[in-house]
Structures are given as C-alpha cells and as structure tokens.
C-alpha cells in the first residue's frame, strides 16, 4: 500500500479516538490478575505451539465451535512489549489484559495463540482465531480482509538508531538500511521511504534491534512503545524525536462477523467508560 493510502486510513481512524475516563479500580485489578493467571495457564498448556503459523484450515471449525461454547481464541505475536510479550512461561501485556477484560464482560474465556505477526490476519480470516489483538494498526489495506473494532489506543512509528548515528530524522534515511518487523506498518512506511531493496524484514522486532546493534542495518522503524522497551533493554540505542505516523490500534475480527464485532465493541465501550483500558495501559506505559 502506498503511503498516501495509509495516511488516509490512519486519518479516518482518528475520529474514533480513545476516550479517557476515570473510574474505580477494584474490579479492574481483579480482572488484571485473572488475565495474568489465565495467560500463564494458556501459555503453560501451549508451550509446544511456539511460532506455529500454518495448519489454519484444520482448526478453523474448532475455533468457531469453541467460541460459541465460551472460549475466544486470540491470535497475537508475543514479541511486542508492552502490548504482548513473554514473561517467563506466560504471555502478558496490554492486549492480553484488555482481551481478558473483554472476555470477562462477555462471559467467555480467552485462549492465546502466539504466531508470526503476518499470520494473524490469515488466522482471523480462516477462523483459526476469533480475533487478532497485537498492537495492530487499522489500515485501509487490512480493512479489505478483516473488520476492526473501535480503536483502543494510539501509536506512531519511530526511528531507533545507535548513539552517535548521523541519522537525525527520516530525511537522513534515504540510501540507508532499515530493519523492520515483517508485514507491519513500519515495514510499509520504510519501504515507501527507502525502497524495497533497503528494507530488512525480521519476524521479531528484537531481531531487527540485534541487527542494528551489530551494524548490519542503520536504523529500526517500529511502534513507539516497543521501541522504548527495546532501547531500555540495550546499551547504546536512541529513539529519534520525529514521529513517522499517527496510528490507532484495534482488534481484528473476521469480515462480516458483526455479532462478535458488536459484542467486543460494547465491552470495549464499557471498559473505556469505567477507566479499565486507561488503567491497563498506564500499568504498562506509566505516564511520563
Ligand atoms: N502497529 C504495527 C502494525 O500494525 C505493528 C504491530 C506489531 O508488530 N505487533 O503493523
């Protein structure tokens, strides 16, 4: 997709921005604790699932039946701290807790399927998963394949470089090698900025950051909150001030599954209203 189309899609999504509300925290804390417990259980059960990306057809019916019976299968890519990541055996993060809170509102369990980021939409369209939650930006392109719920957070793409780099902004990226996570909006933006031949695509943002540390590439373009997490975990990296985009995250559901879409949107509205979403986000991304 061209940059203009992405910009348009992002602009269109700005209308549905996150409602900031305050509210009681006692229920929320209980939900968050449950979320962690369930995530831990889920991961424990699925230690062999790993990065399994294929076999979508075979489990399609199972996922749909389970959803009706009380379990929602969430497709994610747990390599994106603080949105979803591994903490020991557990998969934790903002999206995990939001999904769990939605599950509680709907009286359903949430089961996590961890997979490559670019397998999430295929998992949702095939029915292997009931929804995808992965810090996923709403784009015009993705709206061709899936429906998105209302948005629940905003984000932007940023540039990570090594300290002392001569790259001080996007204008300096021309002719440089940029590392990205495959199939992300950072991938699209970078391809537009420096051309396909200068973009190195990795399955995990972590791998792109390692390549930067080893001077295999000149910069990494990735979402702002994961960028902060990566930079805080390594010496010698900095995030440039310039934001390359304005994006909004939402949950992807199978196209035409208005029943689930409406249910998730109703739950999301309540969770925004009572302050739960803000509380979960603030827990992982403390206000500066
Ligand atoms: N927000 C970006 C996208 O939707 C990256 C998401 C991710 O890597 N989990 O493409």
CA of 119 to the centre of ligand 1 (A): 12
Q: Is residue 93 part of a domain?
A: yes
pLDDT at residue 26 tops 70: no
Of the residues 1, 181, 183, 205, which should be mutated to test ligand 1's pocket, given the most ligand atoms within 8 Å of the CB?
A: 181
Domain that holds residue 213: 156-247
Closest atom of ligand 1 to CA, residue 185 = 10
CA of 185 to the centre of ligand 1 (A): 6
Closest atom of ligand 1 to CA, residue 187 = 10
**Dist CA 70 CA 106 (whole Å):** 9
Same domain, 263 and 147: yes
CATH number of the domain bearing residue 237: 3.40.190.10
- For ligand 1, atom 5, name the residue with the nearest CA: 184
Q: Is residue 229 part of a domain?
A: yes
Same domain, 129 and 174: no
Same domain, 82 and 209: no
Residue 51 pLDDT level (bands cut at 50, 70, 90)? very low
CA of 163 to the centre of ligand 1 (A): 25
Same domain, 162 and 234: yes
Same domain, 238 and 271: no
Same domain, 96 and 219: no
Of the residues 186, 192, 252, which should be mutated to test ligand 1's pocket, given the most ligand atoms within 8 Å of the CB?
A: 186
Rg of the chain (C-alpha set): 18
pLDDT at residue 220 tops 50: yes
Structural domains counted in the chain = 2
> How much of the chain, in percent, has pLDDT values that exceed 90?
75
Alpha-helix residue ranges (DSSP H) falling in the chain: 3-14, 26-45, 56-69, 94-106, 120-126, 140-143, 185-194, 205-213, 224-233, 258-273, 276-284
Kindly report, residue by residue over 133-189, the tens digit of the pLDDT: 999 999 999 999 999 999 999 999 999 999 999 999 999 999 999 999 999 999 999
**Dist CA 189 CA 95 (whole Å):** 24
Helix axes 276-284, 26-45, angle to 10 degrees: 60
Q: Is residue 32 part of a domain?
A: no
With H, G, I as helix, E, B as strand and everything else as coil, classify residue 171: helix
Using alpha carbons, select from 132, 158, 160, 138 the residue that is nearest to residue 74. Answer: 132
**Dist CA 181 CA 175 (whole Å):** 19
Residue 288 pLDDT level (bands cut at 50, 70, 90)? low
- For ligand 1, atom 8, name the residue with the nearest CA: 184
CA of 168 to the centre of ligand 1 (A): 23
Q: Which residues line ligand 1 (CB under 6 A)?
A: 77, 80, 117, 134-137, 181, 184-185, 223
Of the residues 84, 86, 121, 137, which should be mutated to test ligand 1's pocket, given the most ligand atoms within 8 Å of the CB?
A: 137
Residue 14 pLDDT level (bands cut at 50, 70, 90)? very low
| DSSP string covering 265-284 | HHHHHHHHHTTHHHHHHHHH
Same domain, 131 and 204: no
Same domain, 127 and 165: no
**Dist CA 110 CA 96 (whole Å):** 9
């Amino acid at each position: 997709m061209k940059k203009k189309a992405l910009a348009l899609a992002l602009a269109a999504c700005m209308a549905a921005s996150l409602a900031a509300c305050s509210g009681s925290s006692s229920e929320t804390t209980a939900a968050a604790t449950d979320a962690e417990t369930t995530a831990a259980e889920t991961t424990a059960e699925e230690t062999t699932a790993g990065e399994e990306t294929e076999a979508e057809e075979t489990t399609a019916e199972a996922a749909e039946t389970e959803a009706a019976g009380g379990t929602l299968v969430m497709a994610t890519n747990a390599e994106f701290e603080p949105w979803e990541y591994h903490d020991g055996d557990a998969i934790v993060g903002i999206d995990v807790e939001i999904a769990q809170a939605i599950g509680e509102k709907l009286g359903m369990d949430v089961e996590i399927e961890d997979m490559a980021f670019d397998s999430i939409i295929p998992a949702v369209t095939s029915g292997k998963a009931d929804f995808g939650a992965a810090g996923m930006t709403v784009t015009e392109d993705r709206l061709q394949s899936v429906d998105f719920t209302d948005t629940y957070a905003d984000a932007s793409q940023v540039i990570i470089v090594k300290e002392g780099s001569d790259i001080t902004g996007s204008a300096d990226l021309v002719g440089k090698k940029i590392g990205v996570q495959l199939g992300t909006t950072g991938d699209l933006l970078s391809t537009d900025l420096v051309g396909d031949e200068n973009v190195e695509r990795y399955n995990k943002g972590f791998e792109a950051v390692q390549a930067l540390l080893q001077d295999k590439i000149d910069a990494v373009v990735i979402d702002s909150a994961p960028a902060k997490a990566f930079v805080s975990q390594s010496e010698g990296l900095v995030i440039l001030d310039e934001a390359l985009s304005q994006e909004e995250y939402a949950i992807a559901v199978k196209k035409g599954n208005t029943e689930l879409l409406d249910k998730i949107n109703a739950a999301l509205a309540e969770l925004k209203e009572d302050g739960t979403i803000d509380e979960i986000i603030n827990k992982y991304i403390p206000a500066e």
